[in-house]
Amino acid sequence: MKKYKLYINGQWVESSSGRYYDDMNPYTGETYAKVADATAEDVKKAIDAAAAAFPVWREVSPSQKRQMLIKAAEILEKRIDEIAKILAEETGAAGPFAKFQAMNTPEFFREAASQVYMVAGEIIPADMPGQTGMVWRQPVGVVGSISPWNAALLLAVRAVVFPIAYGNTCVLKTSEASPVAGGVTIAEIFEEAGFPPGVLNVILTGPGRSGMVGDILTSDKRVRRMTFTGSTAVGRHLAVQCAQNLKKICLELGGNDPTLVLKDADIDLAVDATCFGRFMHQGQVCMNTKRIIVEKSIADEFIEKFVAKAKTLKCGDPAKPDTIIGPLINASQSDKLEAQIKRAIEQGAELKCGGGRNGNVFEPTVLILKEDMDLAQEETFGPVANILIADSDEECLRIANDSDYGLSSGIITRDIAKALDYAEILETGCCHINDSSLGDDPHAPLGGMKDSGSGKNGMYAIDEFTEIRWVTMQRKPRHYLF
C-alpha cells in the first residue's frame, strides 16, 4: 500500500498526529493509498514556512523564476502517462479527461512563466512641483490555495503557479478525494524543478477536516490572499470569513451552464458540442453544459440525434482506453445524483435514455425538463443531460439567464451577429460561440458571475495576487504650508 506524506518547508513529513486516512478508488471501492491526515499544528507550520520563504522568494530574479516554472512544465510532460494513470485510479477520470489534464497542465506552468515580468509599475503624473509619482505592483506574501477533486491536477496547479510566478509563496490544500493527483504530484514536481523550501507547501486532510484548514487560512494574518475552486456553498462561507478579516479571495464556484441551440444551428455540430460539453469527465466539471436550451422548431431532430449519440458512450472502468463515462467521485455524490434524477421524473421530466447506475457509474442520461422543475435550477455533477425546449431564440436567452449561476455558456447558431449580441447579454463569465460551454485556456480570464464566483485567472490573475502601491519621490525640496 502506497503511503504519502505532507510537504512542508521542502520536507516530506508525517502529520503531527501520525494519522493516515484511506484515499479511495471510486471505481473499485478499494483503498488507493494511505495519506497523512494533517492537524491544525501542521497547517500553522506550513504557513510558518511560507511566511519565512516569502522575503527570499520575492527577491529571486524573474529570469530564475521563469526557468524553474519552465523546468516544472518539462518534468510534468515526462510523467504524462504516469499522471494520467493516477487521475484514473484516484479520481475516476476516464482516458479523454485524464489525458487532457496531464497534457494541458504543463501549459499553465508556461503561461505563469510568461508572466514573471508583468509584476511591473509605471510613472504617473504628479501635481506637486518636483515630484515623481510611481505605481508599484508587488507580491502580497502568503497565498492560501484550496483546490477541488474534479480536475485535481490542473486546478491545483492553476491555484499556485500564478501567485508563485508573481513572487508570492503558497500553502495548498487539495481535496481529500485527490491528495495524490492534486497535491503530492505537484509538490514532487516543484521539488525536482528546484523551487526553494517553503515556496510551495502541501497540506492533506481526510474527510470532514477541510473546514479546519479553511478556518486557519482565512484567519491567519500572514495569509494575505485566498483562492478557492469548489462549491458555491463553501465559497460563500470562505468569502464571509475572508471579509471578516478584510482578506481578498478569488472564487470559481458552481455552475448551471447553458448552451443555446438556435433554430438555424448546424444540428450535427450542436449535438457534438453539447454531448462533449455535458458528458466530459462524466459531467463533473463546473463548466460542463448543464442545461441544453433548444428552439422548438428543431427540438425533435436535435433530441433524436443527441440521444442516439449519448447511447454510444461506453461506461465503466476509467482505466480502459475506450471508456468515456467513468465513475462519480464517491457514493455520496452518486446518491445525490440518483435522488435528483428520481425527483425530476416525479415532477414530470421525460426520461429519454439512461437512468441506470452500477456502483458509482451512471449511464449517460437524457431528461426533457420544464423550467419550473428543481433540476432546471440545480447544478448536476454527473452524466445527466437536461434539455429544455423554448418557443423562440429570445426565450432561449431568457431561460439561460434565469439562474443564480453564471460561469460559462455556449451558443450554437449560423447567425454570428445574433450570437455576438446574445453573448453580450448572457450573464456568464465566459461564452463560447459555436462551441461547447466547456473550455479553458491557461491565459484566459476564466471566472464567474453571480453565484459562480468572483475574480479571474490566466492573464488577469495578477490583479488577484499582487498589491498596487503609490510611491512618490521629491526631486527637490518642496514648500510646506507650515
Assign 188 to helix, strand or coil.
helix
Q: Which of 170, 286, 315, 396 is catalytic?
A: 286
14 included as an active-site residue: no
Q: Which of 90, 252, 378, 464 is catalytic?
A: 252
Element containing residue 156 per DSSP (H, E) = helix 152-165
Which residue, 165, 79, 156, 69, is CA-closest to 110?
69
The span from the CA of 351 to the CA of 328, in Å, is: 20
The span from the CA of 136 to the CA of 121, in Å, is: 5
Cross-sheet strand order for the sheet of 131-139 = 122-124, 131-139, 466-474
CA-based end-to-end distance of the chain? 76
Which residue, 89, 80, 81, 88, is CA-closest to 32?
89
The span from the CA of 408 to the CA of 481, in Å, is: 56
Q: Which residue has the cell 510611481?
A: 134
286 included as an active-site residue: yes
- Cβ atoms of 70 and 260 within 8 Å: the answer is no
The span from the CA of 471 to the CA of 65, in Å, is: 26
Strands 384-390 and 365-369: parallel
Residue 469 carries which side chain, given as an amino acid letter?
Answer: R
The span from the CA of 325 to the CA of 318, in Å, is: 7
- Cβ atoms of 210 and 61 within 8 Å: the answer is no
Element containing residue 408 per DSSP (H, E) = strand 408-412
Residues marked as catalytic = 252, 286
